[in-house]
Structure 1
Amino acid sequence: MKTSVIFFYTLLLAYSGLGCLAATAVNADSLSLEIRRQLGSSAGKKLLFPQSVKRFYASRSYHSAWFKPQTGEGPTWQAMLLIDCTEQFGLAGVNYHQNELSYNTLHDILETPGTISAARQARFDMLLSDAMIAYMNHLHYGRKNPVYPAGKVDGGITDAFHAEKMLIRAVGQTDLISVITSVQPTSKQYRDLQYQLYMLLGVHSGDNYQVSAADIKGMTLSMERLRWASAAEGPFIQVNIAAYTLTLYEPDSAYVFRIIVGNPQHQTARIPGAISNLVTAAAEDSPRMALPRLSTLLPEIIPEKPADRSNLSYPGAAGSFTIRPQGSREQQQFGRAQRDLSDGSIRVAHPEKLAALLLRYDGAENKVAGMKKALHAAQVRTFHLKKKVPVKITYLTYLMTDGELVIYKDIYGLDRSLEKALFPGNTQFVINY
């Protein structure tokens, strides 16, 4: 994201129009008391992440976070600029108090001490902190994450990312933008989409590029879904339902397999799981991956009433990858362009190769021959993995491939509902041709 940061800095002085700024004339203790009072009032409860904001200010004895003397490139101006540049990260400024956090108010607070009351200064300080905490949570977890909704994140997740702790670090840095944006997913798919948005909406804004507002929003949908499926440590599997692909990611390699997924009436579940064992079986069906039984989650993300399939495991539990010999009918199905053909399970082409890769990475290459022998003899055998392999089930209809935007068919019709959830009303991306 270094290029984006460099571009942001070229705008800072234009936005601030200031040299060195004076501190506010309001007594620091008075401002701290006012911040504490407002956090305990109804106004504090209406913040985007009220509990996180309280923890942030409690860690600094309720002192102001943003009104220290600084140049036009200081952390306060960087935070304001980030709110103006949300679209380059697939977000919308209206979700970060953009209407209340005005540059004019900030100028008055910093340039003309005494003209803005302690109450207004405290509210501005709190809103900017809340905006940055929300910004980081949305960059890291996503805005509509079905597993980590805002209330759960705000309550504090054990052994997970905490935006308020990152903000404590960020406000003391000269490069706040880099700290804030560092919380994004690190996958190549995400980085490629974010860079494309930065180029289209930042560097080349105003140039005659052939890209529609619909494509811009489509890219933001994939970025949101990639935030839900952040990469795991070590080898992991990512399924992209829309592209009919399964990719095994290892530290220095990626192996792509064709898959068959659930049809629109029996959709494949989009919740994470893990493979803990490989099972060889008779050739009564295609090789499949066990999926979690669905519970009540966001209707736009997961079907409300899926078929009950007895071979499925429960949400979050480790599952099995069942390997069966493939007949000619199954091989023909994998040759189709559109492969939403199953009852909801994920069927994998060349399962023997995938199983061998999983065993080798698990340090059990000596079991590969036994797995192949059992498979061809149609014997039921179970091969346990010492380390579970995380499985990320994604639904990415817009991706960058070799520098080009590739659009996959929205086979489950999920893009529209997610777009409405992320961009209600008439939220528009600014694209100048």
Structure 2
Amino acid sequence: MNYLKTGWVLLLIMTAAACGRKKGQPRQQEIVQNIRQLDEVVPEQVRERLEYVAGNEGVMEDSVPAFRLAALQYAYSEGKGAALWSKNGQAAQVTDSMMQWINAAGNYGLNPAHYHARALNDVQNHFRAGKDAQKDAALWAKMDVLLTDAFFKMSYHLHYGVAPRDSVTLRKDSLLSDTVLANLLQTALQNGNISAVLQQQEPFHPGYVALKEGVQQFSLQFGGMHWDTLPQQYYDTLLFKQQLAARLIQTGQLDSTGFTVTDSVKLKNAVRKFQKEFNIYPDGVAGKRTIQLLNKQPQDWLLQAALNLDRWRKLPDTLPGRYLLVNIPAFRLNVMEDTASVVESRVIVGTPRTRTPILNSVMTNFVLYPYWRVPYSIVFKEMLPQIKKNVGYLAEKNLEVVDRHGNVVSPDSVNWSKLGRNHFPYVLRQMDGLDNSLGILKFNFANKFSVYLHDTNNRSLFSNSNRALSHGCVRVQAWDSLAMYMIRNDPRPEMRDSVRAWLDNEEQRVYSMTNRLPIYIRYFTAEMREGRLQFYEDVYGEDKTLEKYFK
């Protein structure tokens, strides 16, 4: 390290030490006599800006927080404080490319404001306005530091997402260090190709790629639109029907050709088409929920899609060749193999009060005709009050009482009035059979939440449009197809017939998988499906929690 670079490192250490001492705005103008002097003056202006960020709690001069001050300091110490995006009053060719990425950040589910869009566009306009701006060292330094921060922030957001990660989505590679970020920028600048470096940060999962394309298509079609809102309550009036028809024409559910507002059948079919697209029960009536969704503006839908691009970024860089994915808001399960869905099923998930958890695990076995050990939360909240009223409730629900030694005891021998949350030395177990709440099959995978996938004895619920109905476990409609998929590659060719025989004979058996199946339970409220962007209800309110990170 030479003396000049050593000096810059020491200066930046002193700058970092100044953190907490808020300074005034850095100089906003410093005109040089000769444009060739810029490379001598700009480093001092860069230093001022880094010192300002350090003393302003990480907030940059345009009031947007820096991604990471240490990364900025490292990048400029490597270059001895020299401008990274210009030389002697000439912007690097990649500057325009970076600006295009910033201004088009919405196409990637990102907010341009996070990347200093307004301040950088103002700088660009100043440079176009006159020759004095070209000699302004302060303007060049401002552009340089903001662009560097924008590149670092966008690289990270494209790779890991905007929202914080939790213990489930935390990955082993979850850190772009200061060194890595600086090397990415150096590669982009040396090769003159910002796009190649930023694109490499994005996930390659087909679901992410398809959703990103859907966002861009939706933005082109509706992004510039704004429609009038409908009254919050349906009115069977000519005026309301006119308003409803105009709204449905805008998004293509209603063809205006030859349509008159008195054509109730055509209008009802258009409402039904909208309801199907947005996963509402298709009754053709513009009820409260339908009107709420009709009133959502294009930017609201684009934000919802952006949140889900962010969720894809939380997944590992590489997914297994085969895995099972449960999408909670879609009430759907898919087994993916080589990017294709080979098993699909409707599912029932937990209610908003008893949520199905987000998790990663590996499916290890399934149980035929399983017992159901009733969770104590259900025992105390739902069952014990009923048992105290009528002990016959146990027989009605096919429940047996098991003591701490594993022995089945007679319900009549238990003094139920003395039992409660603080004293309950028993387990309630629902016996196997067709009336068991777990149904015929239970799929096991290790997790701290004690949830699993299973069949159900109440299969009529799969026809509901809203299927957030369980206590947290996932009920699977196509349990038979899933089980057969899990044994199809078993090295024992007779196993498929054996499982079928166990099912026919109602035998309680455990099948241990030879090829375990990774499972991901996730929360996607938007996806590309059958060639169009499809949205789902935010059943657990998770979208609302994430929205604040995108403002």
**Amino acid corresponding to residue 265 of structure 1 in structure 2:** R
Give the C-alpha shift of residue 412 in structure 1: 1.9
Map of 1:240 onto structure 2: 327
Measure how far apart 1:131 and its partner are. Answer: 1.0
Q: Is the CA contact (8 Å cut-off) linking 1:238 and 1:394 kept in structure 2?
A: yes
Identify the range of structure 1 (334-343 vs 358-367) with the bigger mean alpha-carbon deviation: 358-367
Distance 1:86 1:245 in 2: 30
Alignment partner of 2:39 out of 7, 20, 27:
27
Which residue identity does 2:348 align to in structure 1?
I
Cα pair distance change 1:94/1:369, threshold 3 Å: same
Partner of 2:353: 265
The answer on 1:342 being equivalent to 2:470 is yes
Do residues 351 (structure 1) and 479 (structure 2) align? yes
Give the AA of the match of 1:233.
Answer: P
Matched to 1:140, the amino acid is: H
Cα distance change on mapping 1:68 and 1:38 into 2, 3 Å: same
Tell me the CA shift for residue 137 of structure 1: 1.7
1:4-45 C-alpha deviation (Å, 9 max, x unpaired): xxxxxxxxxxxxxxxxxx986333697299559937943694
Question: Offset at 1:266?
Answer: 0.3
* Contact 1:267–1:412 under 8 Å retained in 2: yes
Question: Could you list the runs of 5+ residues in structure 2 that have no partner in the other structure?
Answer: 1-33, 60-65, 227-249, 252-296, 371-431
Matched, 1:383 2:401: no
* Secondary structure, counterpart of 1:171 in structure 2: helix
TM-score normalised by length of structure 1: 0.69
Matched pairs, number: 370
Residue of 255, 275, 299 corresponding to 1:213: 299
Measured in 1, the distance between the counterparts of 2:305 and 2:469 equals: 26
Are 2:78 and 1:65 equivalent residues in the alignment?
A: no
The 5 Å alignment of 1:404-423 reads 404-423=532-551
Q: Secondary structure at the match of 1:147?
A: coil
Q: In the alignment, does 2:135 pair up with 1:115?
A: yes
CA change 1:199–1:389 in 2 (3 A) is same
Larger Rg: 2
How far does the alpha carbon of each residue in 1:197-240 deviate from its partner, in whole angstroms, 9 at most, with x for none?
32344588658963733222222222222222356132122211
The TM-score, its normalising length taken from structure 2, stands at: 0.56
State the secondary structure of the residue aligned to 2:348: strand
1:331 correspondence with 2:453: no
What's the counterpart of residue 214 of structure 2?
A: 196
| Shift of residue 79, structure 1, vs aligned partner | 0.8
The answer to whether residue 46 in structure 2 is matched with residue 38 in structure 1 is no
**Is residue 2:94 matched to residue 1:94?**
no
Q: Give the CA RMSD over aligned residues.
A: 4.3
> Which residue pairs with 2:199 in the alignment?
181
Looking at structure 1, the residues matched to 164 and 349 of structure 2 have their Cα atoms a distance apart, in angstroms, of: 22
Report which stretch shifted further, 210-219 or 129-138: 210-219
Residue 131 of structure 1 pairs with residue 150 of structure 2: yes
The answer as to 2:141 corresponding to 1:141 is no
User: How far 1:147 moved relative to its partner?
Assistant: 2.6
Q: In structure 2, what is the Cα distance between the partners aligned to 1:239 and 1:258?
A: 10
In the other structure, the counterpart of 1:4 is: none
Using a 3 Å threshold, how does the CA distance of structure 1 residues 373 and 138 change in structure 2: closer, same or farther?
farther
Contact 2:39 2:82 survives alignment (8 Å)? no
Residue 275 of structure 1: CA displacement?
Answer: 1.0
Q: Which residue of 1 is the match for residue 520 of structure 2?
A: 392
CA shift digits 1:282-305 (9 cap, x unpaired): 244143555744xxxxxxxxxxxx
Q: What is the aligned partner in structure 2 of residue 229 from structure 1?
A: 315
8 Å CA contact retained: 1:234, 1:250: yes
Aligned partner of residue 190 in structure 2, secondary structure: coil
